């Protein structure tokens, strides 16, 4: 079928070449600082000039280019339930939740509070039930009732039971990485992580151009075990990155490739996703402005750069700055950021459920973001331009003064999704009244929590995962 589809592009070939050359220049002449002795040794053996006192390694252009050539534009993110497998191959954009929000809106009272483990379980259920959100990041950590030393692993353990979808997490110590690997093996004993990884982690370089020892050692351990890595650099333009957007782009990609070099030296066939997202520091408030027009430009341009390198791209397209979901501002930011980012066609668009500059999460916003995703997908799907869609025969049959409601052509294309139909953003008139979309979304989230069940864990898995958590707590001396 012939389809005219919108695709938002910013950079031409010369722009892409200049960014890539700039990245290679920065890595070769400025380098990056590595806190991990193991990483420095790998880089030294690969021909890098390494200063053990500062931790800085200069990465030759040839090594950067070799790493780029080893990137794979197809990555499988398997679900514990195989029906939820996601393949990143450049043909679709997949929605993922935000992370890691320190507060949550209580689904019953509307109170803003610290998240508890019960909230993690409820969020997993909502994500599992929403077809529009196939990827589940740690939306928040259960700080209200779980000690910080064990909160990452407690979140993973909870989500493994609450959803059969692919889980993204963040692990910052090698010890946590080892425990997480054991939990994943228990939850999916027949899924070899090298072939069907049901869990991935976010690895965050520290801007500008730094890699913390424990987090990098943990990521290296996970890479060796077959766990995909999303390398997510987050420089703030004007603060931890250059004030100019182009300069921030160069630093973002340089930071991500400085991690990719290490991971590819460990395992050439490791699965990597690069982040096409960078932040803007609002110079009036000194806060990260995550839904600014500059963020939209960076999301799109970085997606183009990463795709030109041959890697899947993750872009943050749903979390917003607005702190009140029922305001005009929230609507502008939600649809503006989501749609502009969607038209750049990243492989993953993250941020569902997050608002208040990712300070707060809401299960109602997960439902609202699923609605926004459906609308954005409809725009990205474009206009069918074949003979059936041009409808010349139907126009002739109806003729002047007729109507199309009773035509089979109308019914068929309505069922095929030619017109997007909202679920919670109800279309109404002034006289008929307008249902509150946030309240409708919260009601749907409550119904999901009450009724939805994910695919069950294997027999005995929940008990073994609980035993692993007990081992972790004992190691840290907490309960």
Q: 326: domain CATH number?
A: 3.20.20.480
Give the integer Cα–Cα distance in Å for 140 and 159: 11
The 10s digit of each residue's pLDDT in 273-305 is 999 988 888 887 777 788 889 999 999 999 999
Instruction: Give the count of domains, the chain.
Output: 2
Which of residues 355, 381, 407 is at a domain's end?
A: 381
In a domain, 419, yes or no: no
Phi, psi of 346 (to 5 degrees): -70, 165
Same domain, 174 and 48: no
Is the link from the previous residue into 472 a cis peptide, with omega within 30 of 0?
no
* Residue ranges making up the domain that contains 207: 69-381
pLDDT at position 479 is 76
In a domain, 438, yes or no: no
Residues 211, 217, 223, 224, Cα dihedral to 10° = 150
Which of residues 18, 45, 63 is at a domain's end?
A: 63
Same domain, 11 and 132: no
In a domain, 468, yes or no: no
Same domain, 174 and 37: no
Mean pLDDT of the 32-49 span:
98
Closest Cα partner for 201 from 219, 178, 179? 219
| Cβ pair 241, 248 in contact under 8 A | yes
Give the model's confidence band at 201: pLDDT under 50 very low, under 70 low, under 90 confident, else very high: very high
In a domain, 426, yes or no: no
Same domain, 53 and 108: no
Which of residues 22, 46, 63 is at a domain's end?
A: 63
In a domain, 450, yes or no: no
Phi, psi of 234 (to 5 degrees): -135, 55
Closest Cα partner for 253 from 59, 403, 474? 59
Same domain, 93 and 198: yes
Mean pLDDT of the 255-261 span:
98
In a domain, 474, yes or no: no
Read off the pTM: 0.95
Same domain, 259 and 308: yes
In a domain, 420, yes or no: no
pLDDT at position 57 is 98
The 10s digit of each residue's pLDDT in 101-118 is 999 999 999 999 999 999
pLDDT at position 291 is 85
Same domain, 7 and 21: yes
Q: At what angle do helices 293-309 and 328-343 cross, to 10 degrees?
A: 20
Pick from 188-202, 205-219, 412-426, 445-459: least confident: 412-426
Same domain, 83 and 202: yes
Same domain, 294 and 178: yes
The 10s digit of each residue's pLDDT in 343-364 is 999 999 999 999 999 999 999 9
Chain-wide mean pLDDT for the chain? 94
pLDDT at position 433 is 65
Same domain, 159 and 95: yes
pLDDT at position 432 is 66
In a domain, 408, yes or no: no
Same domain, 53 and 163: no
Same domain, 82 and 22: no
Counting other chains too, the contacts that 190-195 makes at CB distance below 8 Å and 24 or more residues apart are: 191/78, 191/80, 192/226, 193/225, 193/226, 193/227, 194/225, 194/226, 195/226
């Amino acid at each position: 079928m012939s389809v005219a589809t919108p695709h938002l592009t910013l950079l031409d070939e010369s722009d892409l070449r200049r960014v890539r050359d700039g990245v290679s220049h920065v890595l070769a002449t400025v380098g990056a600082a590595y806190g991990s002795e193991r990483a420095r040794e790998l880089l030294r053996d690969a021909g890098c000039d390494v200063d053990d006192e500062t931790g800085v390694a200069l990465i030759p252009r040839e090594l950067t280019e070799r790493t780029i050539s080893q990137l794979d534009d197809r990555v499988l993110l398997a679900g514990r339930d195989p029906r939820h497998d996601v393949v990143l191959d450049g043909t679709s954009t997949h929605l993922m939740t935000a992370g890691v929000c320190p507060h949550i809106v209580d689904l019953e009272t509307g109170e803003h509070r610290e998240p508890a483990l019960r909230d993690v379980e409820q969020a997993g259920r909502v994500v599992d039930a929403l077809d529009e959100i196939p990827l589940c990041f740690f939306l928040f950590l259960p700080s209200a009732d779980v000690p910080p030393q064990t909160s990452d692993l407690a979140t993973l353990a909870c989500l493994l039971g609450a959803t059969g979808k692919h889980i993204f997490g963040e692990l910052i110590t090698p010890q946590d990485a080892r425990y997480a690997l054991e939990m994943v093996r228990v939850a999916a004993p027949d899924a070899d992580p090298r072939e069907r990884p049901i869990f991935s982690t976010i690895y965050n370089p520290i801007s500008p151009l730094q890699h913390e020892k424990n987090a990098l050692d943990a990521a290296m351990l996970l890479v060796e075990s077959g766990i995909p890595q999303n390398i997510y650099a987050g420089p703030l333009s004007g603060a931890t990155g250059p004030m100019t957007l182009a300069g921030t782009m160069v630093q973002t990609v340089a930071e991500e490739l400085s991690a990719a070099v290490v991971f590819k030296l460990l395992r050439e066939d490791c699965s990597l996703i690069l982040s096409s997202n960078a932040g803007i520091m609002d110079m009036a408030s000194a806060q990260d402005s995550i839904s600014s027009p500059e963020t939209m430009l960076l999301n799109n341009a970085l997606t183009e750069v990463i795709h030109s390198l041959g890697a899947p791209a993750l872009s943050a397209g749903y979390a917003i700055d607005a702190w009140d979901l029922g305001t005009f501002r929230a609507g502008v930011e939600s649809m503006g950021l989501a749609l502009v980012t969607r038209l750049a066609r990243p492989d993953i668009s993250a941020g569902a459920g997050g608002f208040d500059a990712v300070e707060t999460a809401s299960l109602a916003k997960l439902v609202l973001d699923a609605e926004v995703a459906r609308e954005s997908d409809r725009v990205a799907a474009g206009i069918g331009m074949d003979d059936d869609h041009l409808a010349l025969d139907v126009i002739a049959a109806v003729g002047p003064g007729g109507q199309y409601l009773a035509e089979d052509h109308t019914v068929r294309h309505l069922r095929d999704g030619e017109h997007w139909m909202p679920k919670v953003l109800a279309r109404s008139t002034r006289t008929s009244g307008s249902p509150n979309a946030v309240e409708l979304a919260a009601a749907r989230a409550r119904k999901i929590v009450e009724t939805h069940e994910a695919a069950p864990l294997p027999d005995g898995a929940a008990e073994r995962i609980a035993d692993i958590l007990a081992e972790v707590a004992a190691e840290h001396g907490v309960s």
